[in-house]
Each structure stands twice: as C-alpha cells, then as structure tokens.
Structure 1
Amino acid sequence: MVDLQDLRNEIDSIDRQMTELFEKRMEISRKVAEYKISTGKKVFDKEREKKVIEKAKDMTHNDFNRHGIEELFQQIMAMSRKLQYQLLEENGVAGRLPFIGVDELEKENVRVVFQGVEGAYSQAAMQQYFGDKITSFHVEHWRDAMEAIAEGAADYAVLPIENSTAGSVNDMYDLLVEFENYIVGEQIIRCEHCLLGLENAEISDIRTVYSHQQGLSQCKSFLQEHRDWKQIPLENTAMAAKKVAEDGDVTQASISSAFAAKCFGLKVLKENIYSNKANSTRFIIVTNQRIYQKDAKKISICFETPHTSGSLYNILSHFIYNNLNMFGIQSRPIPGRNWEYRFFIDFEGNLNDSAVKNALRGIREEATNMKILGNY
C-alpha cells in the first residue's frame, strides 16, 4: 500500500517548485512591464494570452486536466497583468480619468429638479441635501429630469436609485448609461409612512386610503387592522396626499410622509404605520459635469464583459488585488443582445487613490464600454 505521507511529501516538493517557477514568471512579467512602459504598448494582449493558454492545454493528457490548466493559466496571467498595471501606476503612466476634483459642491443659488410632485420623498431628499437656498422644480418622469440637467435647464437632479425593501430602481441604471450625466452625491431618506387625513378627520372617519402600491404593501400589517377600508393605489405617495387634500372628503386618507402632510395641509392621523422600520430609499444627486468632491469615498462604474467563462470573475479580481471594498453589484440586460448583461458596481475609494487608478485601468483594458458613473 502507498504511504500517504510519502504522497504528501511529493506534493510538497511539487508545490515548492511551482512557487519558485511562479516567482520567476512574475519577475519576467515585471521586465515585460518595464518594456511596455518604455514603448507605450498595452498591458492586455488578448491574442497572445489565448495562444499561451491553448499551447498549455495541448500539453495535457485528459479533459479534466485540460480544463484545469486553462483556469490555472487564466489566473496566472491575470495576476501578471495586475503586477504590470501596478508598475505603470508607480511610474506615473496612469490612465486618463477626465474628472475634475472640487473642494465642495455649490449648494446655494443652484437649480435643482426632482421627479414626482410636491411632497414626494424625492423633494424631501432634495431639501435635506441642498437646503432651502435653491431654485427647484419637479417633472413627471425620471427621463425628464435627466434631460433637464443634460440640456442645462437644471444644475442638479435628485433621483431614486435603490430602496432597502423594494430593491434597485432598474430604469435609473439604464438612464445613467444613456445620458452623459454623473453622480456627485447621495442622500438616504427613511420612508416613514404615516396615515394622513383632513384637519377635521379622525381615524374612525376613514373609509378609503390612497398610496403607491409599495406604500400599501409596506403598511400591510396596519391595514389588516382596518379590513373595511378600500385601498386604491396611485402613482406615488405624494400624489395620494394631494388627492386627499383636493377632494376634501373626510372619509379619505393617504399613506404618505409627514413631509407631504406639511406640503398639502393635512393632519397626521397616525405615525409610523410601516412594517419595516429600517425601510429607506437612497437618492443620487446627478449633474452633467465630470466633477467629484476631493473627499469623495464611493465610486460607481458600469461595464460589459465578453460573453465567455470567467470574464466577470477576472474583472472583479481587480477589486480583490487592489484591496478595494465593493458595496454592491447589479446587472441589466443589454438592449439588442439577448442574454448579455451590463454590470454596475459601487465600491469604496476616490479617483485620486493609486489603488483605484490601478483597478480602473485594468478594468478599462479588459472590459467593454466601461464608464465611470461618478465619485461621491
């Protein structure tokens, strides 16, 4: 019988040889980087890497090893590229990032657009972020807001990007790709739904309640205590409050915010009627300028990957090897290309950080259509 310890000793010996060869290969990669720095050649040579992998696969003796050696060499070459990107950054050969750092955003005497009607959570987010010394107006659709800043009718737009309960606002990701607008800030608003009625109304008077469908769903437990109430969904919670105020019917109520109550002169009949006490919406502040605050700490990007095995993994490894913390990842279908996707990633960092520059350079060379959506 073969002795297990002898086999382990053989593996240890092979591992030592592999480690020595790996370090030797990386030293040669360093010299390759020095050559590319002096000649201006790109780090990523897709055809060269493909030939190296195919040659290595041809030296194997079965399908299992053929697949394994392909994965192994993909990772070895990915690490070689990352070393070369780091050396490029250290030598000041940085990729072009056409964003201008500013000390702070102008928040007074600016024009701001928000989507929805007065009393909407987006208006509350706008006021919390900018204060009162602004000129603001509202539009019906998110696209209208993006067009307003793209055309210069507004300096900034305040738009929802994610709800902690309902998830991402998918259409907003698509608009960020379509328009040359950029994220420069964010504001998180707690969705603290209240029951609103007329000034002379009491809860016992209510027979009909209006809200956005999500507002009704998020207050399901409270509404189950009033099964005789008719629930009618509207386009948003602020519109529901507006309807109650305009109709002047004491039997009507809305599920909206306390902010909406102030906007439309309604009375808060009951506070905190929502089930998820942590329910919040994240709003982004968008402009048509490629700027970022010098103390910004979050970066959003999007990119497409080749429709091949391991392509997304290789892109994400740039965050790992540069010690960058990812906050989230989303995917959206690419129009006209069935079953292919565009990825959106939020991660920690500043565009002036060397690790960020290094990661973005690698992603830009290896992904397709990478776009920096903002640093904020």
Structure 2
Amino acid sequence: MVDLLKSREDIDRIDRQIISLLEERMDIAKNVAEYKISVGKKVYDKQREDEKLETLGSLASNEFNKHAAQELFTQIMSISRKLQYTLVKTESVSKSFEAIDKLPITADTKVVFFGQEGTYTQQCMEDYFGTDIDSFNELTFRKVMEAVKEGRADYGVLPIENSSTGGISDIYDLLLEYDNYIVGEHVVQIQNALLGLEGATIENLKTVYSHPQPLMQCAKFLEEHDYIEKKEYLSTAASAKKVMEDGDITQAAIGSKKAAGCYGLKILKDSINFDNTNCTRFIIIANQKIFLKDANKVSICFELPHKSGTLYNMLSHFIYNNLNMVKIESRPINGKNFEYRFFVDVEGNLCDAGVINALRGIKEEASSVRVLGNIKKE
C-alpha cells in the first residue's frame, strides 16, 4: 500500500529544492543580463534556447518525461527572459508616441466619417465632436483611411466592432496598410429599423438593402420573413438613399431613424435587430502618434510564425506584467501561409512600467510588433 502522506511529504521536499534552485538560476540570469548589456546583445537567443531544450529533453528517461522537461524549461527560460527585459533597457516600441492633455480640435479641424449622411458613423462623429464640426463623408473604409493619411482630414470615424457580430476585420488590416493610429473611441447603441416608402408594407416587400453588418444583426427577423431577398450595400444610409431614389415600394432598407428622416422614408418596423443591447464601437483615427495622458487601453498588433507555443509566449508578457487583456483578434498574413497577425487590446497606459516592459519583451520575441494607439476606453 502506497503511503500517501509520505509521498506528499517527498513532493513538498522536492518542491522546496526546485524553488531554491530556481532562485539560484534567476540570480545567474541577472549576470547574463549584465553581460548582454555590456556587449549590446539581444536577450532572446532562439537558437541557443532550442539547442538547450533538445539537450535537456535527452536527459529524461522516457518520452513522456522528455516532453515534460522541455515544456518546464521552456517556461523557466521564458521567465528568465522577462527578468532580463527589466534590466536590459532596450528602446520601447512606443517611444515615438506623444502624450497630450486633450485632442487638438479647432475651428479648422476636419473630420471624415464612413458612409452617407444618416449613418450610425455620422451619429458617432456628432456625439464625439459635436454637430458644428467641419465634416465630410467617404463611401468606403479605405477612402476614410486615405483621407486621414493624406491629411485631407484631421480625424476619421470608423466602426470596428459590434456587440452581436464581432470585429470588422477590414478595419484592422487597413490600420496597418495606411499607418494611421487610434486616438479615441465611442460606443453607439444600435436600433436597426426597417425603412420603406410611403405605401410600402412588410408583406409586399421583395428586397431589403443594407450593409453586411446590419443584415447579420437582423438575421432573425429576416429569417422570419424569408420571402424578402437580402442584398448587401455600401452602408445603411446609402441603402436608405437607394430606396428613396428607386421609388419602388417593394424595396426596403435596414438603417437608423436618422436615415429615415434624412431620406424621407417611413419606419415599417422599429428595432428589428435580435439583440436589444446591440451596440457598435467606433474608433477615432489620426495620422499622428498621440495619446491622452489619462488613456487606459493600449491597442497593439504583432506577427508570429505558425509554431506551437508562440502565441502563449506573447500573451505571457501581459500576465507577468499584470496587464488585463480585453480583446484579441487574429488575421492571416498575406503571402505567408499559416502565419498570423494578432490584434490585442490591454488595459494600461504607454507610460506605465508594466506596459513598457511587456512591449519590450514582445518586440524581442515576435516577428514584428506595432502600437496602434492608446485611448481612454468608454
């Protein structure tokens, strides 16, 4: 009969030895960091670590213990690197960002928003900047990005995430392509309505137009009225405008009450989205690397090779620096099969020591990393 109490005592004794050896190892890791500082050597040496893991695995007595040893020492070496990052003060990836008290907004400030007049994006812009702002619209996400990048607009307003249907992946890709930065955000409650001409009825409809996101948000209603053909269009407001211009009472649009007022349509049915708490998060973008001093959410993007454990290694930098991750999105990298780009939001400020240290570690270990912005979350 195995003596459970004795076995537990033996495990406790071994664990104490492991802790003692771990502390001794971490002290030596500091010496390694000092050497790297003196010669300007990077902390992360992948080839050295891979060779060491192979050697350590070969010391185990069976295949199971080999994998266990390699997994254990992978984490020990990762922890060692995190200690060294606090000592080796490499340049932070956020160094070029400027902290400001408030966004520069003057009588000459121009804002571009996505979609036609009457979109939720316009509502967001007016909520954020006020109704007297000098603004213009563009009909595609790309055109908004271009206007901001080229300086034709100081700020741009774009939807990035819906509470019912998730993130809008195109926006993430375009942020990188146009080298724009997130400087603010605003959340708008979404109440999608079915809009039609005078004389139209739900029973007589044949076609409904809207942006793909509202069509998804209203999927339950549309399934219940499956005789109505769904057609994707540029935006909710552009859909309302099309219905007005076509003058066909068998057509309808899904959009806001504001769009109904703008284009002289009547509301055939209000609040047809399946989630009454439905809301969309919009971002405010600029082509300047600026952030508010009281910002508390950092958005970053990093690229990783398609290899086991690489994502965990990146996310562990947030864990060890006590940073709360609030969002993660993945996107495939064009031209690199099965390699991915990750978009992550964490709570914090670019001036925080924990954020600086986490970014320093990710910069060393990821294929690439970029700060997309630091904002005050709603």
* 1:95 aligned residue: 92
Determine whether 1:158 maps to 2:157: yes
* 1:7 aligned residue: 7
- Contact kept, 8 Å, 2:202 with 2:268, in 1: the verdict is no
Are residues 117 and 321 of structure 1, via their aligned partners in 2, closer, same or farther at CA, if it must alter by over 3 Å?
A: same
AA of the residue aligned to 2:316: S
Are residues 146 and 220 of structure 1, via their aligned partners in 2, closer, same or farther at CA, if it must alter by over 3 Å?
A: closer
Aligned residues: 372
Q: CA deviation at 1:217?
A: 4.7
Are residues 230 and 150 of structure 1, via their aligned partners in 2, closer, same or farther at CA, if it must alter by over 3 Å?
A: closer
Are residues 239 and 19 of structure 1, via their aligned partners in 2, closer, same or farther at CA, if it must alter by over 3 Å?
A: same
* 1:344 aligned residue: 343
Are residues 154 and 273 of structure 1, via their aligned partners in 2, closer, same or farther at CA, if it must alter by over 3 Å?
A: same
- Contact kept, 8 Å, 1:201 with 1:251, in 2: the verdict is no
Are residues 115 and 60 of structure 1, via their aligned partners in 2, closer, same or farther at CA, if it must alter by over 3 Å?
A: same
Superposed counterparts of 1:67-86, under 5 Å: 67-86=67-86
Superposed counterparts of 1:214-233, under 5 Å: 214-220=213-219, 222=221, 233=232
Q: CA deviation at 1:295?
A: 1.0
- Contact kept, 8 Å, 1:211 with 1:256, in 2: the verdict is no
Are residues 113 and 6 of structure 1, via their aligned partners in 2, closer, same or farther at CA, if it must alter by over 3 Å?
A: same
- Contact kept, 8 Å, 1:112 with 1:134, in 2: the verdict is yes
3-state secondary structure, aligned to 1:105: coil
Q: CA deviation at 1:307?
A: 2.9
Deviations 1:293-348 (A, max 9, x none): 11111111111123322111111100001010001111111111111111111111
Superposed counterparts of 1:1-376, under 5 Å: 1-88=1-88, 95-96=92-93, 97-108=95-106, 109-198=108-197, 201=199, 203=201, 207-208=205-206, 210-212=208-210, 213-220=212-219, 222=221, 233-248=232-247, 252-376=251-375
- Contact kept, 8 Å, 1:161 with 1:169, in 2: the verdict is yes
- Contact kept, 8 Å, 2:305 with 2:340, in 1: the verdict is no
Identity of aligned residues (%): 53
Q: CA deviation at 1:208?
A: 4.9
Q: Is 174-183 or 24-33 further displaced after alignment?
A: 24-33
AA of the residue aligned to 1:95: S
Structure 1: distance between partners of 2:267 and 2:219: 18
Are residues 329 and 233 of structure 1, via their aligned partners in 2, closer, same or farther at CA, if it must alter by over 3 Å?
A: closer
- Contact kept, 8 Å, 2:165 with 2:217, in 1: the verdict is no
Deviations 1:149-173 (A, max 9, x none): 1111111111121122222211211
Are residues 19 and 279 of structure 1, via their aligned partners in 2, closer, same or farther at CA, if it must alter by over 3 Å?
A: same
Are residues 44 and 206 of structure 1, via their aligned partners in 2, closer, same or farther at CA, if it must alter by over 3 Å?
A: same
3-state secondary structure, aligned to 1:95: coil
3-state secondary structure, aligned to 1:160: strand
Q: CA deviation at 1:356?
A: 0.3
TM-score, structure 1 normalization: 0.90
The two structures, once aligned, show a CA RMSD in angstroms of 2.5
Unpaired segments of 5 or more residues in structure 2?
A: none
Deviations 1:99-122 (A, max 9, x none): 011111123431111222221222
AA of the residue aligned to 1:63: E
- Contact kept, 8 Å, 1:210 with 1:234, in 2: the verdict is no
3-state secondary structure, aligned to 1:132: coil
- Contact kept, 8 Å, 2:165 with 2:216, in 1: the verdict is no
Structure 2: distance between partners of 1:204 and 1:99: 52
3-state secondary structure, aligned to 1:98: coil
Q: CA deviation at 1:252?
A: 4.9
- Contact kept, 8 Å, 2:333 with 2:340, in 1: the verdict is yes
AA of the residue aligned to 2:239: A
Deviations 1:204-249 (A, max 9, x none): 8964563315434534555577677666553332122112333445
TM-score, structure 2 normalization: 0.89
3-state secondary structure, aligned to 1:242: helix
Structure 2: distance between partners of 1:221 and 1:334: 33
AA of the residue aligned to 2:271: N
Are residues 335 and 218 of structure 1, via their aligned partners in 2, closer, same or farther at CA, if it must alter by over 3 Å?
A: closer
3-state secondary structure, aligned to 2:23: helix
Are residues 220 and 13 of structure 1, via their aligned partners in 2, closer, same or farther at CA, if it must alter by over 3 Å?
A: closer
AA of the residue aligned to 1:130: F
Q: Is 168-177 or 209-218 further displaced after alignment?
A: 209-218
AA of the residue aligned to 2:119: A
Structure 2: distance between partners of 1:336 and 1:356: 31
Structure 1: distance between partners of 2:59 and 2:174: 48
Deviations 1:74-105 (A, max 9, x none): 1001111111222346xxx6525210111111
Structure 2: distance between partners of 1:224 and 1:313: 40
Are residues 98 and 235 of structure 1, via their aligned partners in 2, closer, same or farther at CA, if it must alter by over 3 Å?
A: same
- Contact kept, 8 Å, 2:140 with 2:234, in 1: the verdict is no
3-state secondary structure, aligned to 2:344: strand
